[in-house]
């Protein structure tokens, strides 16, 4: 190994020659600050940036397969709503779901039951994109005309067969993701009480529809078996009535349960799933007074051992002319690029001239991909995604993690993920830096593999991911959990130099070997 020492004159000359390092516009071999060795800046290499349609996003849980080293795909929240984005265009996310019969007792209503109310309950998730102040939504529930299969695999591009009948409709002025809700609870003696519950959407279902759906006259043997119940119920469809939307709208997220944690011990006290809560009253045996009762038809939590989910999202889009033009011209380098979660859009970055680095006797000390938000084209509808993920494709075209951010059970030995508590942010990066308006990814091992010809297809892909670091580690797939989007500065060497602006770049720090 050879080390190079710089005297004052050499240092001044180097600083003059490398002045473009302040705003490098592409791949560069740069000196590692603080090291006594350095490389020669190679500013002749270019990046190629382009916007592509992403793969559809898996909308139900996938269990881990350690034998095949396939990680679990966890779904912690699902997108819902309608959003008129001034840059991306229109996006609608609906939720299809079904309920399960109660754990105990007859699924049917008693013969003499008089229905008081039937309320559909959905807990909110943690993410929102759009107008949180002035938009008003008409939210509707309709029956499915096909059976929702709890063990079926659904993706974001699933088109559901939905009946025209509206069995619930309500105007929502704001998706209140952080506001608790006051709920009136009827006691068994008819006395009402008010309790506060976690942030949730509550929709009153049509009493006649519910009474007929769970009528006592239905066959007991059929309705009280899991398969018979699901075949009878089929499922439901939660949607926003687009013609009655006021404002630009937004995309909220729906969670799967309410979890109450003891603040003193951190223990989980109870987990309450979503579902349909039916309140009704019947005569007591002596016939003198009514008794108020409740049946809960839950939307069960996703299984942790098999594909089993009772709710999923489907997402449809009508892209703006700007996005359509991008997607129609993917062979040219695009100086502004776009990424959208939920299986929408991703940015591909490739290195067409990286072969120039192959064969050089160098060891990569650090390689970082730096991507800046394009504020001039970001629009005013939504801010940058809090987090982006990055992955590659193998020779078979399948998504794969890069070694630096591998969070699978059997990880690349060079991955820092999980070592001494290191998480996604430190291992791979990709979290939004508000101060510098950029995302930084660590690609040291990956770039070394590319230069050593261990990777044949060197292109990488970038898309939004949920910023909840406890979910999915470092995903290398389309993330249904993230309704977010971002506009990025692609590669443009001319603009970077003329405007002295920061653009997408790859910084490489290396040691020259003998």
Angle at 178 between CA 172 and CA 181, to 5 degrees: 65
What is the pTM (predicted TM-score) of this model?
0.87
Using DSSP bridges, classify how beta strands 27-30 and 505-512 pair: parallel, antiparallel or unpaired: parallel
Measure the CA–CA gap between 410 and 508, rounded to whole angstroms.
28
Q: Give the per-residue pLDDT at 193.
A: 61
The b/e string for 346-385 (b: 16+ C-beta within 10 A; e otherwise) is: bbbbbbeebeebeeeebebbbbbbbbbbbeeebbebbebb
Given a contact cutoff of 8 angstroms between Cβ atoms, the answer to whether 472 and 74 are in contact is: yes
> How remote is the C-alpha of 111 from its chain's centroid?
45
The pair of structure tokens assigned to 91 is 């996006």
Q: Phi, psi at residue 317, to the nearest 5°? A: -140, 150
Closest Cα partner for 465 from 503, 439, 504?
439
Q: What is the pLDDT of residue 426?
A: 93
The CA dihedral of 432, 436, 437, 439, to the nearest 10 degrees, is -40
Given this model, what pLDDT does residue 509 score?
A: 84
pLDDT of the chain, 514 residues: tens digit per residue: 443 333 333 333 333 333 333 444 455 555 444 443 444 333 345 789 999 999 999 999 999 999 999 999 999 999 999 999 999 999 999 999 999 999 888 999 998 899 999 999 999 999 999 998 999 999 999 999 999 999 999 999 999 999 999 999 999 998 988 876 766 666 555 566 666 677 889 999 999 999 999 999 999 988 999 899 999 999 999 999 999 999 999 999 999 876 655 556 655 555 678 999 999 988 877 666 678 889 999 998 877 667 789 999 999 999 999 999 999 999 999 999 999 999 999 999 998 888 888 887 888 888 899 999 999 999 999 999 999 999 999 989 999 999 999 999 999 999 999 888 899 999 999 999 999 999 999 999 999 999 888 988 789 999 999 999 889 999 999 999 999 999 999 988 777 777 777 889 888 888 877 6
Domain boundaries along the sequence of the chain: 8-58+64-70+319-512, 78-301
pLDDT in the model for residue 94: 98
């Amino acid at each position: 190994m050879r080390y190079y020492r710089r005297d004052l004159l050499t240092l001044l000359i180097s600083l003059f020659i490398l002045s473009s390092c302040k705003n490098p516009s592409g791949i560069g071999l740069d000196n590692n600050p603080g090291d006594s060795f350095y490389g020669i800046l190679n500013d002749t290499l270019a990046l190629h940036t382009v916007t592509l349609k992403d793969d559809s996003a898996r909308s139900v849980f996938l269990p881990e397969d350690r034998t095949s080293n396939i990680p679990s795909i966890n779904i912690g929240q699902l997108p819902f709503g309608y959003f008129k984005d001034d840059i991306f265009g229109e996006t609608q996310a609906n939720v299809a779901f079904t309920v399960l019969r109660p754990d105990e007792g007859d699924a049917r209503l008693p013969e003499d039951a008089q229905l008081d109310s039937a309320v559909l309950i959905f807990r909110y998730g943690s993410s929102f994109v759009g107008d949180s102040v002035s938009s008003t939504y008409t939210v509707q529930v309709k029956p499915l005309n096909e059976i929702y299969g709890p063990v079926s695999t659904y993706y974001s591009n699933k088109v559901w067969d939905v009946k025209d009948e509206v069995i619930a409709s309500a105007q929502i002025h704001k998706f209140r993701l952080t506001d608790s809700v006051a709920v009136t609870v009827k006691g068994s003696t008819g006395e009402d009480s008010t309790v506060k519950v976690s942030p949730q959407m509550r929709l009153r279902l049509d009493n006649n529809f519910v009474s007929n759906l769970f009528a006592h006259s239905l066959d007991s043997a059929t309705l009280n078996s899991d398969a018979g119940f699901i075949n009878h119920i089929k499922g439901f469809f939660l949607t926003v009535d687009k013609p009655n939307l006021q404002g630009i709208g937004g995309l909220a997220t729906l969670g799967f349960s309410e979890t109450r944690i003891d603040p003193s011990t951190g223990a989980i006290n109870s987990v309450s799933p979503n579902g349909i809560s039916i309140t009704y009253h019947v005569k007591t045996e002596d016939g003198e007074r009514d008794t108020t009762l409740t049946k809960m038809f839950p939307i069960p939590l996703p299984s942790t051992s098999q594909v089993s989910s009772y709710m999923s999202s489907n997402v449809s889009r009508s892209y703006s002319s700007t996005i359509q033009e991008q997607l129609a011209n993917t062979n040219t380098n695009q100086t502004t690029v776009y990424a959208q979660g939920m299986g929408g859009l991703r940015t591909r970055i490739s290195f067409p001239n990286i072969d120039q680095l192959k064969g050089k006797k160098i060891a990569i000390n650090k390689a970082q991909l730096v991507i800046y938000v394009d504020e001039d084209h970001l629009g005013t509808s939504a801010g940058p995604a809090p987090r982006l993920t990055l992955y590659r494709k193998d020779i078979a075209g399948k998504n794969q993690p890069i070694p630096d951010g591998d969070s699978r059970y059997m990880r690349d030995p060079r991955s820092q993920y999980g070592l001494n508590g290191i998480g996604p942010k430190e291992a791979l990066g990709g979290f939004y830096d508000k101060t510098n308006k950029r995302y930084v990814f660590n690609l040291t091992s990956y770039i070394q593999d590319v230069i050593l010809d261990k990777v044949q297809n060197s292109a990488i892909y970038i898309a939004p991911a949920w910023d909840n670091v406890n979910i999915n580690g470092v995903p290398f797939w389309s993330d249904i959990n993230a309704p977010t989007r971002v506009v990025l500065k692609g590669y443009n060497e001319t603009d970077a130099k003329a405007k002295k602006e920061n653009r997408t770049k790859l910084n490489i720090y290396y040691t020259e070997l003998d």
